[in-house]
């Protein structure tokens, strides 16, 4: 990422911070619409899950400028998700749903540079989560 | 692999995309999971010996040669299968076959048989362009072979990979260079990054990676390219070499020299790209051109370049862009082209903003043969490339040569700019300007010198003087208007006439677009930078931010480093006023990194001062002080000089020395007043109140009357309301700040409002103001200022109690607090006691705890 992109991700995140609960709603709605098979992996009552999602997103966005901090978050998170049965392909679906939810939250502020910045930020997170997931599979299989 | 339905995996893709690596990773994974593994490599030489490649799989001493000496393949295949089964206890042998299409037919048949019988699991790689053997494509069509197509990285993937590999963000221009050179090929990218790191071309500064120069072609990279194009015909190689040196080439010309087969084969192999609409041929990969050039014998390269130069000269005598190509080819061939050709070429390169090429062309002109225009072009290029001393020498030399009045003017203006911005010597710049005035007297040109003098005054820290000089310009030609706007917009904004400043910047940009890109004048984006500055001073922070963000993208694409630095620094400044301190810190770090890379001392000073201010406001007093110390090695710079002192002042504030901070701020405010930096003076005086509660409202109100800026007015309102302990007015000031997006100032004003309400006994209003203040403060990315510290505490303290408490919770003894605040120890202890009572605590430790949550 370029420093400008990091700033863009963090500043646009600041703008949508008050709307995080609705962002979580849109995200899960988009996710299950894109792949209904993912729905059973989550509890019926999503209230707590949505709060966890918002908290984790806040932590990760905050850690983006310092790669070691980010890795500390994402590797463990990826390892945990592998345990939940999340496959590499699912990361694409999640990415698309997340970008869609952010686009909805930002409205007119979601311009092309912002989309690029969030895409690269998500790639970074997904890539490092997959690393964490891979280490678990290797040991576990 | 876990099911028996699949017999293997086919990894397909272009050379260097990572097929082998992926295959080996799969094999490692299989091995780690307890599977037996084997590795087979297809190659052109091994293919000559039947079964040579798979020898490792064959069991020795098997009876597959019959009495006539013939190989019985059925027996051989079956015995191999049985032997493998026995050796691996029925588990499939995971077999990597690299470059499978290069295997001999017998090896392929054996592998196909073993796979079909579930004796082995295949992991095959095949390069795009190589025909996939029937046996493999048959297995794939039957659905027994899983096929994976590996593609080159796209731009987003490349950025992600760079970020992970380098461990941090990369400057936008450098990211683009890696993309353009590698075109997403992972192998080339890897070599480019390693090469750039080893040669220290890719360096980290302030946490961001920058490229110091063009990417180098390493020997290993040449080897890789050689492997890729190694086996083409000698005619095809001639085409590749010609393109590497002289591309793009006209298709029509190539067709007259080479047979259509050769060009077709090259296109099919993906080595050249044909743009039919333009009738041009280029090498498909930029890396190939660089590597082929680097590997070619010098004499051969020279012969090709000279032949092409001669051909093009005969074909298009004196034609524009052809002339630049010819000049470059002759230089590449080690010849010295005619100086007039070099000069014309330099002009063309200048209009493409390729200052490196301008420098290269003109430095090839023999000493004594460079004319005044050449000196002007070379001097300007050296300035843009950060070679300020060399620029001054060349420009001085140019001034000694006879030239038109216009060229003499531009030499003087460029040399003065170099002296002021590059060498950071405004007095020298003024002397150059004064000398030029004796020589240049005709009206419009003399007025340009006036504008130039005005620019020196402005950017050496004298906006008032700059405006006075500009008044003397009466001409109204396009160029005069543009030059006046370049200085005028900044000077007007600094003087507090922000409406005029914004208009001047907008009109200046429109005029500049009509004028076109002329010599000895700043880049048109400078007007946009000026507009950002003017909008900021007018308190229109959101507009300023948006404009600057659009601007930084456009100039990064055009590679205008000085404009990139200014946009980043202005974004840092806007973010500081918005109270988004972490954002400010990142932008200032970016500006400082770029300024350092391009050797602009003045902007570096400004960016480091801003960075210090951001660290200090975030409460990182130690890092602030370290950053402040970096300023010692940076030359003095007049532009907004009083404002740089905010860095010193807030470092003192963060170190709990408010008295020292106030001294620094008041001295800087005097300096600002004497030079006409009105908006800056208002910032400094407002901060006197913010750091130590000292009343500066009288002068702030004067400034508010002299300026048209709502930001300056809001500061005055804040200070006046604070003096009068007027809760409603303080809340009003907070609303003003909030409307401008200045959240930190709004939070502080609300906090003060809460205190005033509480003093007046209106606890309900106090609580509401407190709550608003906390909400605003939460938008400030962790800012820690005296005005915020107590925002979340239910019972407000008086200003004096607050000062004492702040020092006390930082572990400073009463005696020292007394010294720092000019109080007696008894008074300090009284204040502390009152604070304890109000906060319901009984010791310093409790005090820190009670306030800890708000920090």
What does the pLDDT look like over B673-698, one tens digit per residue? 999 999 999 999 999 999 988 999 99
Tens-digit pLDDT profile for residues B346-364:
888 887 777 888 998 999 9
Confidence of residue B855 (pLDDT cuts 50, 70, 90): very low
Dist. CA B551–CA B587, nearest whole Å = 14
Question: Is the Cβ of B165 closer than 8 Å to some Cβ of chain A?
Answer: no
pLDDT at B463 over 90: yes
Query: Is B718 in CB contact (< 8 Å) with chain A?
Result: no
Average pLDDT, chain B: 86
Give me the pLDDT at residue B354, please: 79
Q: Do the Cβ atoms of A3 and B159 come within 8 Å? A: no
| pLDDT score, position B61 | 53
Asked if residue B147 has pLDDT above 70, the reply is yes
Residue of B nearest to A7 (CA): B583
- Measured at the CA of A41, the angle between CA A36 and CA A42, to 5 degrees, comes to 95
Tokens 């679906």, located at residue: A93
The pLDDT value recorded for residue B389 is: 93
| Range in A7-11, B375-379, B803-807, B816-820 with the lowest mean pLDDT | B803-807
pLDDT band at B847 (very low <50, low <70, confident <90, very high): confident
- Residue B136 scores a pLDDT above 90: no
Torsion of CA B733, B781, B665, B562, to 10 degrees: -110
Q: Are B474 and B447 in contact (CB under 8 A)?
A: yes
Q: Using alpha carbons, select from B239, B296, B294 the residue that is nearest to residue B266.
A: B239
pLDDT of residue A40: 86
Q: In sequence order, what DSSP letters do the residues of B743-796 get, joined into one string?
A: HHHHHHHHHHHHHHHHHTT-HHHHHHHHHHHHHHHTTSTT---HHHHTTT-SSP
Q: What is the pLDDT of residue B524?
A: 83
Sheet strands side by side (includes B249-250) = B249-250, B280-283, B272-275
Residue A113 with chain B: CB contacts under 8 Å: 549, 553
A-contacting residues in B 399-428 (Cβ below 8 Å) = none
The reply to whether B104 touches chain A by the CB within 8 Å rule is no
* B432 vs B136, more confident: B432
Query: How sure is the predictor about A94, in pLDDT bands with cuts at 50, 70 and 90?
Result: very high
Could you tell me the pLDDT band of residue B70, with boundaries at 50, 70 and 90? Answer: low
**Average pLDDT over every residue of A84-112:** 87
Provide, as residue numbers in chain A, all residues whose Cβ is less than 8 Å from the Cβ of B167: 67-68
Interface contact flag, A6 B169, Cβ < 8 Å = yes
pLDDT tens digits, residue range B205-243?
877 888 877 787 777 788 888 877 877 888 899 999 999
| Interface check B376 vs A, CB under 8 A | no
Residue B853: pLDDT band (50, 70, 90) is very low
Beta bridge partners of B12: B126, B149
Q: What are the backbone dihedrals phi and psi of residue B122, each rounded to the nearest 5 degrees, phi first?
A: -90, 140
For chain B, say whether A18 makes contact (Cβ under 8 Å): no
Reported as a single tens digit per residue, the pLDDT across B724-770 is 999 999 999 999 999 999 999 999 999 999 888 988 888 888 888 98
Residue-wise pLDDT tens digits, B697-733: 999 999 999 999 999 999 999 999 999 999 999 999 9
Bridge partners, residue B208, by sequence: B205
User: Which chain B residues are within 8 Å of A11, Cβ to Cβ?
Assistant: 580, 583
Is A65 a residue whose pLDDT tops 90? no
pLDDT at B703: 97
pLDDT category of residue B518 using cuts at 50, 70 and 90: low
CB contact under 8 A, B168 and A5: no
Min Cα–Cα distance to chain A from B458, Å: 29
User: From the CA of A63, how many Å to the nearest CA of chain B?
Assistant: 12
| The pLDDT value given to residue B679 | 97
pLDDT over threshold 60, residue B546: yes
Q: Do A2 and B167 touch (CB under 8 A)?
A: no
């Amino acid at each position: 990422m370029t420093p400008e992109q990091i700033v863009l991700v963090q500043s646009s995140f600041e703008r949508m911070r008050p709307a995080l609960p609705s962002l979580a709603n849109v995200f899960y709605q988009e996710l299950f619409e894109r792949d209904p098979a993912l729905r059973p992996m989550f509890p019926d009552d999503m209230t707590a899950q949505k709060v966890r999602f918002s908290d984790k997103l806040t932590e990760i966005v905050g850690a983006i400028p310092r790669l070691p901090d980010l890795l500390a978050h994402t590797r463990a998170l990826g390892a945990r998700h592998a345990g939940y049965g999340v496959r590499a392909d699912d990361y694409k679906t999640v990415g698309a749903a997340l970008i869609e939810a952010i686009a909805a939250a930002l409205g007119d502020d979601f311009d092309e540079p912002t989309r690029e910045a969030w895409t690269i930020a998500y790639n970074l997170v997904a890539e490092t989560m997959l690393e964490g997931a891979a280490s678990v599979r290797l040991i576990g299989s | 692999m876990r099911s028996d339905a699949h017999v293997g995996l086919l990894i397909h893709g272009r050379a260097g995309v990572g097929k082998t690596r992926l295959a080996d990773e799969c094999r490692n994974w299989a091995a780690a999971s307890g599977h037996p593994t084997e590795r087979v490599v297809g190659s052109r030489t091994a293919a000559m010996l039947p079964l040579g490649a798979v020898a490792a799989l064959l069991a020795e001493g098997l009876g597959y040669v019959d009495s006539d000496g013939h190989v019985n393949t059925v027996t051989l295949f079956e015995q191999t299968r049985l032997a493998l089964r026995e050796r691996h206890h029925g588990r499939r042998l995971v077999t990597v076959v690299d470059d499978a299409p290069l295997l001999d037919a017998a090896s392929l048949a054996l592998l196909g048989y073993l796979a079909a019988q579930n004796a082995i699991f295949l992991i095959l790689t095949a390069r795009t362009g190589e025909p996939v053997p029937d046996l493999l494509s048959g297995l794939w069509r039957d659905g027994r072979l899983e096929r994976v197509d590996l593609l080159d990285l796209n731009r987003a993937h490349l950025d992600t990979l760079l970020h992970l590999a380098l461990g941090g963000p990369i400057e936008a221009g450098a990211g683009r260079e890696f993309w353009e050179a590698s075109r997403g090929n992972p192998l080339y990218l890897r070599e480019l990054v390693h090469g750039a790191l080893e040669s220290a071309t890719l360096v980290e500064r302030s946490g961001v990676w920058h490229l110091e120069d063009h990417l180098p072609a390493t020997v290993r990279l040449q080897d890789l390219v050689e492997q890729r194009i190694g086996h083409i015909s000698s005619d095809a190689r001639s085409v590749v070499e010609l393109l590497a040196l002289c591309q793009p080439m006209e298709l029509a010309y190539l067709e007259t020299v080479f047979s259509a087969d050769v060009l077709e084969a090259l296109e099919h192999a993906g080595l050249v790209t044909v743009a039919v609409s333009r009738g041009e041929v280029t090498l498909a990969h930029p890396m190939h051109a660089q590597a082929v050039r680097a590997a070619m014998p010098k004499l051969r390269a020279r012969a090709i370049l000279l032949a092409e130069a001669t051909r093009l000269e005969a074909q298009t005598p004196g034609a524009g862009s052809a002339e630049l190509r010819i000049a470059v080819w002759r230089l590449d061939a080690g010849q010295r082209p005619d100086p007039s050709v070099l000069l014309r070429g330099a002009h063309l390169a200048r209009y493409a903003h390729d200052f490196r090429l301008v420098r290269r062309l003109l430095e090839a002109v023999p000493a004594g043969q460079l004319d005044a225009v050449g000196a002007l072009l070379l001097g300007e290029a050296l300035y843009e490339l950060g070679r300020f001393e060399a620029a001054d020498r060349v420009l001085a030399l140019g001034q000694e040569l006879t030239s038109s009045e216009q060229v003499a003017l531009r030499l003087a203006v460029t040399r003065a700019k170099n002296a002021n911005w590059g060498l950071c010597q405004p007095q020298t710049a003024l002397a150059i300007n004064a000398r030029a005035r004796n020589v240049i007297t005709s009206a419009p040109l003399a007025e340009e010198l006036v504008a130039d003098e005005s620019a020196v005054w402005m950017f050496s820290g004298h906006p008032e003087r700059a405006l006075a000089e500009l008044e003397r310009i009466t001409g109204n030609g396009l160029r005069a208007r543009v030059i006046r706007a370049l200085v005028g917009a900044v000077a007007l904004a600094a003087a507090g006439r922000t409406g005029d400043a914004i208009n001047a910047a907008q009109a200046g940009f429109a005029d500049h677009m009509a004028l076109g890109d002329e010599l000895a004048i700043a880049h048109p984006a400078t007007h946009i930078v000026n507009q950002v500055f003017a909008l900021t001073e007018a308190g229109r922070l959101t507009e300023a931010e948006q404009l600057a963000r659009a601007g930084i993208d456009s100039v990064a694409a055009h590679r205008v480093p000085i404009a990139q630095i200014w946009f980043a620094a202005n974004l840092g400044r806007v973010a500081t006023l918005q109270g988004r301190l972490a954002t400010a810190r990142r932008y200032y770090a970016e500006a400082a990194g770029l300024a350092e890379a391009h050797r602009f001392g003045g902007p570096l000073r400004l960016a480091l001062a801003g960075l210090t201010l951001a660290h200090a406001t975030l409460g990182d007093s130690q890092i602030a002080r370290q950053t402040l110390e970096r300023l010692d090695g940076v030359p003095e710079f007049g532009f907004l000089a009083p404002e740089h002192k905010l860095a010193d002042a807030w470092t003192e504030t963060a170190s709990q020395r408010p008295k020292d901070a106030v001294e620094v701020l008041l001295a800087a405010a005097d300096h600002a007043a004497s030079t006409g930096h009105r908006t800056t003076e208002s910032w400094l005086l407002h901060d006197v109140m913010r750091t130590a509660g000292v009343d500066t409202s009288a002068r702030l109100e004067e400034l508010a009357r002299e300026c048209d800026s709502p930001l300056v007015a809001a500061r005055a309102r804040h200070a006046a309301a604070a003096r009068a302990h007027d809760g409603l007015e303080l809340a009003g000031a907070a609303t003003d700040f909030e409307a401008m997006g200045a959240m930190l100032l709004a939070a502080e004003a609300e906090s003060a409002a809460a205190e005033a309400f509480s003093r007046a006994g209106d606890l309900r209003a106090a609580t509401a103001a407190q709550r608003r203040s906390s909400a605003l403060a939460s938008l400030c990315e962790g800012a820690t200022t005296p005005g915020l510290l107590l925002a979340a505490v239910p019972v407000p303290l008086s200003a004096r109690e607050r000062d004492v408490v702040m020092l006390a919770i930082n572990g400073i003894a009463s005696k020292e607090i007394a010294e720092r605040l000019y109080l007696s120890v008894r008074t300090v202890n009284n204040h502390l006691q009152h604070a304890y009572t109000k906060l319901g605590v009984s010791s310093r430790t409790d005090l820190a705890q009670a306030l800890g949550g708000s920090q």
